[in-house]
Chains A and B, each alone.
Chain A
Amino acid sequence: MVADMETHGPVSAAEASAALASVERSRARVAWAGYPAWYWLATAAGLAVLPVAMLLPAWLGVVGVAVVAVVLFRLIVAASRARGVCQGWTRSAMRWWEVAVLYGPAAVVMDVAAFLPPLAWWWSLVAAVLVFALFAGTGLTLSARIGRR
């Protein structure tokens, strides 16, 4: 069976193009497939804590952000074990635009919440809900869609 798959001789542009397409599919599956749903939900919850932390006194906010950072780190390690994929700290299977699609909208909401003068106390809560929905929604959707390819 393996011998049947050997390729010899000149490769046409169509074959090269098909090979590159399969390379891209494999890369995308490694980047997105296999994440447990709890990873997206828990990470989204962790990120959603950040706008709420601004409502707290400064020292408590800093402590809260530090705790969230540790929890997010442990989530990444746990998800990596659950997926059976170790990306390491210097590599990522995601392209820069995929990272932008995943984190971008949540980051924009957090920036707006941080830099705009607070409209009301509930603005941070609205921002937290938006961050949670945007990150969890994007992660779950892309993970499911690319995982099915």
Chain B
Amino acid sequence: MTPPPDTEQTAAATEDGFDQVIHAPVRLRICAALDPVREIEFGSLLTLLGISKSALSKHISVLADAGYVEQRRAVRDTRQRVWLRLTDTGRSAYQGHVAALRRIIEGSRPS
């Protein structure tokens, strides 16, 4: 039986959902920006994150290689734009990672 998406474990994630690919600070911010929306244009993500184009490209490549992010090219105003979106696997891995971070914080609180 195929597990539901929210419990699917990816190769980079540990059993508790902590994902080393996503945990890198910039990649975490990329996933956080992509999670609540359908897709974001590369240039807009660049502005939102305030990092260099080459750094963003590298992090997107890592996320795309892990199957977490998909790229779509579209022409608008005669210019080619790249739109980025989280895949179902990426969204599930990101949400699992955020849940793992919350558990770390909750686990550190005195009972």
The answer to whether the Cβ of B66 comes within 8 Å of any Cβ in the partner chain is: no
Asked if A19 contacts B28 (CB within 8 A), the reply is yes
Report the Cα distance A19→B30, complex, angstroms.
12
Alpha-carbon distance between A121 and B83 when the two chains are bound, in angstroms: 49
**Chain B residues whose CB sits within 8 angstroms of the CB of A6 once the complex forms:** 20, 24
Given contacts A26-B32, A85-B41, A86-B83, A5 and B26 within 8 Å (CB-CB): yes
A-B contact count (CB 8 A): 104
The answer to whether A2 touches B101 (Cβ under 8 A) is: no
Instruction: Tell which of A20, A22, A27, A29 touches B105, judged by Cβ atoms closer than 8 Å.
Output: A20
Residues of A that sit less than 8 Å from B by CB? 1-2, 5-8, 11-13, 16-17, 19-20, 22-27, 29-31, 33-34, 81, 83-88, 91-93
Chain B residues close to A by CB (< 8 Å): 18, 20, 23-30, 32-33, 35-41, 43-45, 47-49, 55, 58-59, 62, 76, 81, 83, 98, 101-102, 104-105, 107-108
